[in-house]
Structure 1
Amino acid sequence: MNPLRRLLPDTAYAISALVLAVPAFSIAIAGLAAGLGTAVVAGLGLVVLVGTVYVARGFAHVERLRLSGMLGVAAPRPSYLRAQPGRGRVHALLTPLRDTQSWLDVLWSVVGFVTGIFAFVLTVSWWALVLGGLTYWFWQQYLPFDDADNLTLAEILGLGHGRRPESLLYLAIGALATLALPFVVRFAAAVHAGTARVLLCSRAELQARMGVIEESRASAHRAEAQSLRRLERDIHDGPQQRLIRLGMDLGRARHQLANDPATAAETLDSAVAQTREAVEELRALSRGIAPPLLVDRGLAAAVEEMASGQAFPVTVAVDVPRELPVAAETTAYFVVAEALTNVAKHSQASRAHIAVAQREGSLVVTVDDDGHGGARLAPGRGLAGLRERLAGVEGALEVASPEGGPTRLLATVPLS
């Protein structure tokens, strides 16, 4: 945001920093001193330390509210350690003392006092310099001035003697200070806010990141499990049944060769047809698995080969580097394969278009078709499984498919 627009919020944040920092520092120091000093007196010191930690948590929570409300920055609240059920009152009482974030809150109560004083003093001093310099020409007339005895700053700098050179000098200083004011106040607020974010929010951000990673891992496992179950079902219902029939046809033809060669030839023709159909079904199933063409020639060639094998015309526009991370490349290929499968099975589309491009560190895959629409991310459907797979690599899936069509599937696959 423009520093000029941030001037008033930054000023309010920097000046009010001391209002929170003074009581937080006083209670933290007093609590730590009293708690450590009486730690050996029947556990009284531990109770004081626990109370100090909880008070520091409260001040930390208020500071997070100030960060988000006054500066508009993200200030997530961390998850504090909680006592395990059934471990007793002593365990519950001492749990805050075993929590890392609790001690970071206490540390901020001490360090924030230093940065709060810095932000307050710098902001107030600079505002005083601006207002005093710009208005000195007015209120200097009420100050006593002896032309003979007064040695002014303007005279020291060789600008002349008297009230006029002095007022012009201070006016120039005030004007220069005004130009620098937004940046100086922004710096003062940033020092205090940066310290607060590091101590009060960085662990929460790390916890959130770990949560995303764990959810991505779980999504990847679910997607792989669903893919394996679907692959097993499709193999059982398709190629396996055809291969069983092929074996039966070949056995029947073997017995027919001696007595009825014509019928045996027809049976062998049927067996050949069954073989072709089984190969086609296996080829279709292999689209969910990285084909050799993807490994050998890259995503663009693999997508073009997949598009050419569809029963409806598919145009392709792929603009990506030849070398891509394996996980991202495989996921993008699977997105295209699953999207085309859904188009062929459900959309009754007459044509489709595939676009793959690299934008801002991600692969963006777009699949459009002119079908009847109505596609949904319903549980148990192919698109839901696709979303799970994308979540496993921290990607995202969007589907726009109004009734009557057309349908657009937009997937984002991170490259890192």
Structure 2
Amino acid sequence: MDLALQSRTLFGVTLGFHIIYATIGVGMPLLLLIAEVMGIWKKDPHYRLLAKRLAKGYSITVAVGVVTGTIIGLQLSLLFPGFMKIAGQVISLPLFMETFAFFFEAIFLGIYLYTWSRFQNPLFHILVLIPVAIGSGLSAFFITTVNAFMNTPQGFTITDGAITNIEPLKAMFNPATPSKVAHVLTSAYMTTAFVIAAITAWFILRGHRNEYYKKALRMTMTVGLIFALATAVVGDLSGKFLAAYQPEKLAAAEWHFETKTHADLLVGGALDRNTNEVNYAIKLPNMLSFLATDSFSGKVIGLNDIPKENWPPLIIHYWFDMMVGIGSFMIVLSGAFVAIRFWKQKFEWNSWLLRLIVIGGPLSMLAIEFGWIFAELGRQPWILRGYMRVGEAATTSPNVGSMLLLFSVVYALLGILTVYVLIRMARRNPVEPLLDARSEQT
């Protein structure tokens, strides 16, 4: 394994681990805010209790997310110093602002966590939570603009090896920013809702069939459906962005070799690398043209019109299919749950439906992972598209392999510790005694 591949692997492992905590970090404040608002609006203590319990678990994931997020910043500088020579001058503004956004979020999160009984009017407690949601959203926005810049770099010129005419705001608000940021935010809200729904469904299957869990499941599945649909809409816009700015990525994702109109969308299949023929795929007639151009007869550029040295790895077809497939499954599942909720409430607690919801939680997080793998592999061989390849940016240090082993062990331990602490918190603080105490007070 060469040094560039080792660097990519180490950074990929770090990003893959961090994205779990980052997704929850972005999505959880919105769920807390919705639960708090519903608690006041409906005068229902179950929702406020839900917010309080979710906030405790959220504080654990935030702590781990801070550690892994810091590691990502350091590794980006150490593993890809060539890239940072440009990024440090051109795109440092959002990197700097992301730190302030996190501090803004952390300060108000601390106030929120320690003021549950300090305000007689619970509305004031909700007002403290709003900056947490804003801070988490801004943090995601700023860091995503850096990734967007890597896909469509602008706001600078390179003259005789020197970087000139730097425009930080133009670099931030590059063509990839709108679709990238929208996709990150909507998918984070969707995934967090489905993860909490899966945990809730697990408790219901184990016999906890009180109103607290039922309301929690209804709320999270409804939120999940809304943002799953929003993610699908943003995904459609992302397809059109790729067709316009990264046609090689879209073509590789769909094993589309010949530039043509009325292009079919391929699901699954096996590629014969000798003939570039696709076998056993499900073909959706004209749908790739529609995804790329909003017209069933639109022209889609094929890989044969792109220099082969600039092709992304063709395996991204499978990552793309798995991401879209899981997203489609979650739309159907959450839509079915919400429909049953209104049409036939007793079937709402059908054990098979609940089992599918339990499975949907991990699947939705896997979709996030598959999406990031698709995004990063799909940009290859570039680290800064059109300007710098990964091999040119990677470190020449011989110690990357040992660091890969060390950090893999650290992440495994952190993951196990996180799960252990969250499970222990849930077991030591069951919800039923709290519900009994509240009913006695009322």
Shared topology, TM-score over 0.5?
A: no
The structure whose Rg is larger is: 1
Instruction: Choose between structure 1 and 2: higher helix proportion.
Output: 2
User: Taking structure 2 as the reference length, what is the TM-score of the superposition?
Assistant: 0.22
User: Whose RCO is larger (CA < 8 A, sep 6+)?
Assistant: 2
TM-score (norm 1): 0.24
